[in-house]
Each structure stands twice: as C-alpha cells, then as structure tokens.
Structure 1
Amino acid sequence: METRTRDADPVRVLDVASADYRRVFELFLAGTDEKPLTHARLSELVAALPHRRVLLDLGAGDGRTTAHLARSFDRTVAVEPSAAMREKLRTTCPDALVLPDRLDRVRPPEPADLVHLSHVLYYVPEPDWPATVTRALDWTAPGGTLLVVLQNPESPCMRMAAHFTGVRYDLSPLVDLLRERHPADDVTLETLDLHYRTPHLAEAVDVAEFMVNVADLATLDPRPSRAALTAYVQDHFARPDGTYAIGHTQDMLIARRAPSA
C-alpha cells in the first residue's frame, strides 16, 4: 500500500541541502561511469595546458571533481553558494580558497589557467547564460582553458526531462556566440557518452527523479506523478537482462584562450 501511495504522489522537488537529495545523488554516483570517464578526459585537458598555476571551479559542489583537478595546480579557488555543499567541499579540498558567492556576484582573486563550470547552467536562467559564460571566459588566463559541461540535449536523460517538464538544455548557441565574439580563441564542443546502470527498478526511478529535477520542475502544476515516471523508466530504460540503463551523454564546451601577445 505504501508503494502504491508513493507512486501516486507527484515527482519530488529535491533540495540540494536535503537528505533525500544526498541519498539519490549517492545512488546516481554509485551506478554511473561519469566520474572515471569525465576525470580521465579532464586529466587530458589539464595536461595540455601551458601553465597549471590556478584552478577556478565555479559551482564546485561537494568537491570530488575539484579535488581531482586540484592535484595538478598550485592554487585552487572553489565557488559554491550552497552552505551544505560548502561544508563537504572544505573537507574534500582543505587547501582550496572557498568563496560562498553566487556566480553573478563572485570576484575571483586572480585569473585561472583552468576555469571549470560543470552542470551549473541548469540553475542559471537561460537568457543569462551568455553573460555568465562571458564572465567565466574573462576569468580565464591567456593560454588557459574554460570548460563548460552540461547534458547533451539529445541524451536519453535530457529527452526524459523534456518529456516531463518541456525543458531541454543546449550549449550549441553558446559555442556559436563565443566563436563570434572571441575569434582568436579556439572554441569546440565534444561529447562524453555516459550511462547510469542498476539492477533495481526502484533505484532507477529514484535516479530518474533526480534527473528530471530541472529548474522549472517546481513551477509545474501539476507535477508529473511517480507512476508516470516509473512507466517511462520501464518503457525506455529496461534492458533484456532485467537491468536498467539511463544514458546521460554530456556536452563539453572547451574554450582555449589565445596566448598573450
């Protein structure tokens, strides 16, 4: 009876400071190949930098990726507005300078050789994306790299979010904008093919709920039901071997700044 009642409930809006968010985020991390594949690609990008003096991580979250990157840099500056995330960030990256400001208010102390803006634009109104990314590029030192990471608009994860919320994110217009405004910089877009896998339907649905928690979810009335989400997971992500796999391909906008004259 309890399961049926929950299935009839609307999809939850997950607060990043809540225990529910932390639980489902850990479920996602335990089942996805995102961290090893992403970290491997990040290491390649870092190795190609002419200098590795300063890392600037904008929206550093709990600091797992920040810590991976920070090993290669002399100094690390991490920006994280969420108090709950900052608490973990300071433990994960004890040597980093942690700034609590929002992206539209933060003033980093110095230019960085790598500026990392990963899965942050979901929380920024889309009309503000150009200004946000332009500021991040301004904080990137000559010869340095700005990296912006977001879900690919055609990934199964993003198609699910669009099905239930109408929201779909796309970095392609930003690539065109940066190429137009900064012709001396090398701006490219590449993808990483990532998957979350689990043998348990209940866990797959919890992670799917996490994936559809886009910024507009809280404004929907009514919100989609857990039952509808469960049916979608069964229809689209069930595998012949009885497991579930949700693809969440990432786009990586890579802007390599021209060296100083």
Structure 2
Amino acid sequence: MERDRDSDRARRREHTDDPARDDDPFTIRDVLATYNAQAPTLVRTYEDLPFKQVHAPVLDLLPDPGAHILDMGAGSGRDAAWFATNGYNVLAAEPSAEMRNLGKSLHPSPNIRWLDDALPTQEKLLRSKLTFDLIWLSAVWMHVPPSARARAFRKLVSVMSPGGSMMLTLRQGPPPADRPMEPATAADVEVLARRHGLQTVRSVRIPDILERDGIAWEVIWLRLPDDGTGALPLLRHVVLNDRKSSTYKLALLRTVIRVADGAGGLARPGSDERFVDLPLGLVALFWVRSFKPLIAKNLPQHPAGNARLAFVKDGFRRLQARSAHDLRIGQRFTGDDARDLILALRDAAKCIRHMPATFTTYPGSSDPIFPCARKPVRIRDTVRVDEAFLWSFGTFSVPVNLWQAMSRYAAWIEPAVLNEWIEMMRGYARQPDSRDAHMAALKWLEPGHDTGLVRGLGRRLRESGARLYCVWTGNRLKRDFDIDHCFPFAAWPCNDLWNLLPSAPAVNRSKGDRLPAAEA
C-alpha cells in the first residue's frame, strides 16, 4: 500500500491534546473549560428556545425521517432530541462532559447515541467509520480555532454520505466576554465548501431570537453532489481517503477531469461497455501540461522533493522552455522539439501506467479504476499533435459513470482535487509557499480570446483593395467587420488562423456561441 509522509505528519498532529496553533486567540481546552463551568445556565437558555423557531430557515431542507444525523457540538441535546422524536437516527457529539451529562439526563432516547468527541480532531467519530445524511453544526463553528477550521471541515466532509448535507449557524457580532470564540462568516465557509466540491444550497442572515444588541446569525446549507451512479463517492474516496506516496494520484484525476471538460471529443466507447477509452497520449500531454509550472517553481511533488520524479527526464526538461500553450491538440513540432515531445510523452505515459493508474484502486480491492495499455512510439523529426498521434501511445480507460461525472461536474470536482494537491505540496515543503502561489501554479492555461492579429490582417487586406465577405451570410463587408471564431471559443478555445474569419457585426453578435449547422 502507498503511504505518504504528509498523512503521517497530520495524524501525529491530530493525536495531540489541543491542535490549535500558538497564534490562535484560544484553544479547544479554553472552550471546554468555559462550557463545563457554565453548563447549567447555558442548558436552561438553550432549552427555552424551540427548535422550529431557531431553525425555521432550513426546515424545508431537512432529509426524510430515518436519515442519519451527526449533531456536532450537541450541547444540551435540544436539537438531537427534536430529530430523535421525529424519526431520525442521531449521533450527538459533545466534548463538554458537563453539557453532555445534562443532555443525556434531559433527553433519554434510544434514537440518540452520545459521543465524547470534538472538532477538529474527531478521532472517535472517524474510527467509527460512520457516514451521515446531515451534519448539523448549530452555533459551533465560531468555537473552532481559526487555524484548525480547514482541517475540521475536511474531516466533516469525509463522513458525509453521497448527496448528504451540512448545516452551519454562525454568530455575527461581538462575542460574549465569558466564552471564547472567533468570527466566522458564510463567505469563509463557502470558500471551504468550494475547495471540497460542496454546493451552497442556501445562505441567509437572520436576526437574533434573543434580540441581543448587535447580534445576528448567518445560516448556510451545503450539499455534497451525488449523481446517483456511485461516481462521486468513489472520486471523493480517491481524493480524501486513499493513501498517497506522492501527488501522482491527484494529478491523474485532475488530468482526466481536464480531458473530460475540454477534449471529450477524442473519447471512444470502450471495447468493454463499462468504460470510455481515451488516447493515452492525450492523458500524457495534459499530465505534462499540469506539471510544467509546478516543476518550474520547484513545488515538491514527493516527500523527497522533485529530483527523482519518474517522468521528469531529458524530454520533459528540454520542453520547459516551451509555453504550456504549445502543448495542445493541433500543434506542429519539428526537429529537437518533436523528439523532446515524444520523449516527454513516452516517459509520462510510462509513469502513469506503472504508478497512479496501477495504484488508484477501488476501496478494499487491488483492481485499478483506470486500466490502461501502453504502446511503443518511435522517435521522429516531425509531429502533428493529432488524434492518430495521441492514440499511438496506447489506451487509457475510464469507467463510464466516472467519465459522465467528470464531464458534468468538473466545476465542483476539480477544486476539491486541487485543494488536496495543494495540501500535499505544502505538507512536503519545509517552508511552504502561500496557498495562492500554489493555486497560481496549478491554474490551467487556456489561450486568450484574441482576434487582434487577424483583425489587423483584415484591415490590411481591405486597404490593399481586397474585398472581405461575411463568413455566415456571404455578403460583402463594406464598413465595420468582426473577426469571429467559426467554432465558438466557448466550445473550443482555438485561436488558429483557420478558425478566425470575418463576419458582419450584427450577425456575429446574434449568433452567440452556436455551432454551424448543415441547414439554415
């Protein structure tokens, strides 16, 4: 099994008593001490507030009875008791012994299981292997030390069932003098949600029920998408739970997502109807594109650094001088560039085949999720990066349900993959760069929507006496003209000259992103 130093380091941190950093304004111990000391008073206050009144903004979003609820920071058990009475199965996690004991005595129910566990470590919860249809965090998140929130959120996402939800209420306004808390906003939570592929279903601001001066509440409801095929839970397993000895598995997922989102036309039905086949050369090409800026900035992809990465050999190194824009379908390479491209793609294909494609397996199995077969490719002096060239490297197979999920939900899946990739790189680095620096290096470079060159050519042709005609109507362009992408830029970001043609401004702007049709 693969094992990564980053995970081991994280586990060592999590087994400390209090994982807050020195620069946090408080620790979990401070929070627990306060709640233990004030438990009787706080319990009376909570119990006087009816569940339906407190949580009116989200009652219509609750799952059907029978669902499994994690009430994290359950306090007096008021919310857990309402869920239990209404047919839900509740795990009430409360780290304050005094609050937990009072809650148990107030709300004895066979549908509530109490657990002594706390954010951000949640050790007992994670050991239970349970997953939940709804994670409920009512007036809790402000008590998590700021430096621990990203890790706590990641762990909560890991116990969400496919299609599950998470609800948070966040106090806004001055904190009470006698209880440690730090501001938390819906905007902050939405950033974490996007990084982990969650959708924001609802975000509202409501007044304080107790009518305290300057106090209001933000309520946010998040959902983990589920396509109903098992694809998204499988992807989540690979991203969050699967052991990794390098960033290769995440890089492979990002590569396939990029192929699905931007080059899906090269996919073919597999000989096995359970799979879609891709050209292994295309996967290798996008792999090299992903890694070029990371290697250029020396961002570590392995605990030992980048010195011995299996695909970073002579061909890859010599391509470093070429722009990522050059590594695209349709590009022509000659001479040394052609030879270096073939070498780089061969090395990448070999690395993919023997490493991440082999070790990215189904949970509890040694069966690879992405079977692939590699073919030998000879070195030559001229290369056109076309379909035939990319298929010559072999075949990379993707389960149909994963392919469909990656095609439909790339905007949600890719941020979760990139977030985990960044965490691994920062874990490997002795002095990690900022998250923004890592994200900038991971940005997928697309050609700009630039028609300036061809517009200049058109003006010079007209000045020389040549006539210009609208590509769509055939009418002569006597005054103004636009340069239009024949195949819309939104569908295919191609600025090649053959795809840029003169058109009448009114026609171009009314056509939008529609494709040419055989019939008008």
Bin the TM-score by the shorter chain: 0.5 to 0.7
State the alpha-carbon separation in 1 of the partners of residues 88 and 46 from structure 2: 31
Shift in Å at residue 196 of structure 1? 1.8
Q: Which of 53, 57, 61 is matched with 1:45 structurally?
A: 61
State the alpha-carbon separation in 2 of the partners of residues 24 and 78 from structure 1: 17
Shift in Å at residue 27 of structure 1? 5.1
Shift in Å at residue 136 of structure 1? 1.3
**1:118–1:147 CA contact under 8 A, matched in 2:** yes
Q: Which of 183, 186, 191 is matched with 1:171 structurally?
A: 186
Give the partner amino acid of 1:43. Answer: L
Q: Which of 66, 69, 82 is matched with 2:96 structurally?
A: 82
Match of 1:225 in 2: none
Shift in Å at residue 16 of structure 1? 1.7
Corresponding residue SS for 1:145: strand
Note if 1:22 corresponds to 2:36. no
Match of 2:84 in 1: 70
Corresponding residue SS for 1:246: coil
Higher relative contact order structure (alpha carbons within 8 Å, sequence separation ≥ 6): 1
- For residues 1-261 of structure 1, the aligned pairs below 5 Å read 15-18=34-37, 20=38, 22-23=40-41, 26=44, 30=48, 35-46=51-62, 49=63, 52-91=66-105, 92-95=107-110, 96-103=112-119, 104=121, 105-107=123-125, 108-152=128-172, 158-159=173-174, 167-182=182-197, 185-197=199-211, 245-246=212-213, 248-259=215-226, 260-261=228-229
Q: Structure 1 residues 90, 159: CA separation in 2 closer, same or farther (over 3 Å shift)?
A: closer
Q: CA RMSD in A?
A: 3.1
Bigger strand share = 1
TM-score by length of 1: 0.61
State the alpha-carbon separation in 2 of the partners of residues 54 and 131 from structure 1: 23
**2:67–2:133 CA contact under 8 A, matched in 1:** yes
**2:46–2:76 CA contact under 8 A, matched in 1:** no
Shift in Å at residue 93 of structure 1? 4.2
Match of 2:288 in 1: none
Shift in Å at residue 142 of structure 1? 1.1
Corresponding residue SS for 1:147: strand
1:40-98 C-alpha deviation (Å, 9 max, x unpaired): 3343221xx36742111111011011111223444211111111111122231422111
State the alpha-carbon separation in 1 of the partners of residues 52 and 89 from structure 2: 23
State the alpha-carbon separation in 2 of the partners of residues 57 and 64 from structure 1: 10
1:164-206 C-alpha deviation (Å, 9 max, x unpaired): x9953323122123124306x3454222222325xxxxxxxxx
State the alpha-carbon separation in 2 of the partners of residues 131 and 193 from structure 1: 30
Give the partner amino acid of 2:109. Answer: P
**1:54–1:73 CA contact under 8 A, matched in 2:** no
Shift in Å at residue 99 of structure 1? 1.0
**2:165–2:222 CA contact under 8 A, matched in 1:** yes
Match of 1:241 in 2: none
State the alpha-carbon separation in 2 of the partners of residues 93 and 143 from structure 1: 30
State the alpha-carbon separation in 2 of the partners of residues 55 and 69 from structure 1: 8
Q: Structure 1 residues 23, 78: CA separation in 2 closer, same or farther (over 3 Å shift)?
A: closer
**1:59–1:81 CA contact under 8 A, matched in 2:** yes
TM-score by length of 2: 0.33
Q: Structure 1 residues 28, 54: CA separation in 2 closer, same or farther (over 3 Å shift)?
A: closer
**1:115–1:145 CA contact under 8 A, matched in 2:** yes
Shift in Å at residue 137 of structure 1? 1.9
Q: Structure 1 residues 192, 129: CA separation in 2 closer, same or farther (over 3 Å shift)?
A: same
Q: Percent identity?
A: 21
Gaps of 5+ in 1: 1-12, 153-157, 198-244
Number of residue equivalences: 189
**2:144–2:181 CA contact under 8 A, matched in 1:** no
Q: Structure 1 residues 60, 85: CA separation in 2 closer, same or farther (over 3 Å shift)?
A: same
Give the partner amino acid of 1:182. Answer: G
Corresponding residue SS for 1:17: helix
State the alpha-carbon separation in 2 of the partners of residues 160 and 123 from structure 1: 11
Corresponding residue SS for 1:106: helix
Q: Structure 1 residues 179, 52: CA separation in 2 closer, same or farther (over 3 Å shift)?
A: farther
Deviation larger for 61-70 or 245-254: 245-254
1:2-24 C-alpha deviation (Å, 9 max, x unpaired): xxxxxxxxxxx982223x55336
